Structure 1
């Protein structure tokens, strides 16, 4: 029985990271204005969760093998962002989509598709000022907990559920993660399929470069982020068979028939999320 439990340990772990920022406002001439979508401020905040469906040691070894090739490849070491990670990373180079050159990104995405068995779920929070003010009370930790709760509310049968989380400051503090669990517990009992989320949930918060499997979540998030922030579908197309769900949490225009749940039957695209007609949210307080 012990051996069998060890063999299935991957079923208990979920690897979690975030993308985008939680900046909404700035002061100008004594007046608060929205900066969403301006000067590098993201239009969305999102959290992703990856389930690695094979032996975790084997999966880590595969990612380490890929990283070792990058460490030894002078064509990639000419990039300063790559060379810095080779020199400073916990175990040398580690993939990070926003910092990787495009030819490396393409290579890693192809590697993930061919070598590692995993699935991803992502919750996207469009940055809507009224929701941030009235629902989240201008509190970034409350926003984070609200988004995170949607990823864990249906994980009641995984006991223990071990959340391996990329540490991102105060948003991933244990207090805030516990708040996410409380919100998820409330949501689980009032869903279309009532559940009781009373399983043991453990948090394993660590630096991004200390757990190479977090790079899978990072890459999945990056491909979805490109759809929402730049209207680019091609990277998501490469990984879409591995991304089982993208929940566009606050797109009320798609609530009818749950069209804001993007799955393999209702595919995510720049057109589907209305990228071309997506105006900057207004704030006139």
Structure 2
């Protein structure tokens, strides 16, 4: 009997926010200047051919880089001075964001994200006050429903210091597999998940993951929903993991039929 070729699928993962809970002396700093109220992980699935999308992004990057209108924009010129311009929502001026968001509307892709509100008591109890465990647990929620299809899943993940070290990613994969098998006893794991650490400067498809994550971040940090609404048809599911008020009956799951609103904005904690 001939061996069938193993099918390989790709997903592209990025983040928004940070995993910081404490400052010096273990004083909570959540919501302070430069410290986010939540941490977001999300991954993109492309149905258009990957190389076609990749080349289209590169072409768009070059257009921005060569546009004299952006000649004096520091964030753009800084990237050019280090090699080439790439799209990164936090740094990009509004005109560039609009260009890239409109481009994303043309791509056949979908995004799913998980959001973790930064709650110190939960962080201590559930993650032992450890940022690595916090990150791995979050990633496991993205992966836990990815073991059902035969073949290999390559998770192309934006490099992020200690969090994207192989040991941390493997911890996340094991947690995800346990969640998958525990959900239905005897369920078989069919998918081999492997990680491919990438960089925004060399993998343009990560630029799209970055923009999706940024759009979610604006909802949860600022109550600003226009970016999310612009892309909502491409975001089938967002899980607000620790939204305790709406946890019952899947109330912390959001999608086009039950979209996020400005009410999903997280209130700053009382330190």
TM-score by length of 2: 0.93
Equivalence map 1:36-55=2 (5 Å): 36-55=30-49
Closer, same or farther: CA 196–143 of 1 in aligned 2, 3 Å: farther
Does the CA contact (< 8 Å) of 1:76 and 1:104 recur in 2? no
Separation (CA, whole Å) in 2 of partners of 1:260 and 1:24: 22
Find the counterpart in structure 2 of residue 280 from structure 1: 268
Separation (CA, whole Å) in 1 of partners of 2:237 and 2:261: 13
Alignment size in residue pairs: 267
The answer to whether structure 1 residue 238 and structure 2 residue 226 are counterparts is: no
Does the CA contact (< 8 Å) of 2:136 and 2:172 recur in 1? yes
Find the counterpart in structure 1 of residue 189 from structure 2: 197
1:239 Cα deviation after fit: 1.0
Does the CA contact (< 8 Å) of 1:160 and 1:200 recur in 2? yes
Question: Which segments of 5 or more consecutive residues in structure 2 lack a partner in the other structure?
Answer: none
Separation (CA, whole Å) in 2 of partners of 1:198 and 1:139: 31
The answer to whether structure 1 residue 144 and structure 2 residue 135 are counterparts is: yes
1:74 Cα deviation after fit: 0.9
Deviations 1:148-207 (A, max 9, x none): 011111111152010101110110011000000110011112337984335211111022
Segment drifting more, 193-202 vs 244-253? 193-202
Q: CA RMSD in A?
A: 2.0
Closer, same or farther: CA 62–190 of 1 in aligned 2, 3 Å: same
Closer, same or farther: CA 266–239 of 1 in aligned 2, 3 Å: same
Deviations 1:123-151 (A, max 9, x none): 00000001111111111110111000111
Closer, same or farther: CA 149–197 of 1 in aligned 2, 3 Å: farther
Closer, same or farther: CA 5–260 of 1 in aligned 2, 3 Å: same
Does the CA contact (< 8 Å) of 1:155 and 1:197 recur in 2? no
Separation (CA, whole Å) in 2 of partners of 1:269 and 1:21: 22
Question: Which segments of 5 or more consecutive residues in structure 1 lack a partner in the other structure?
Answer: none
Separation (CA, whole Å) in 2 of partners of 1:167 and 1:119: 21
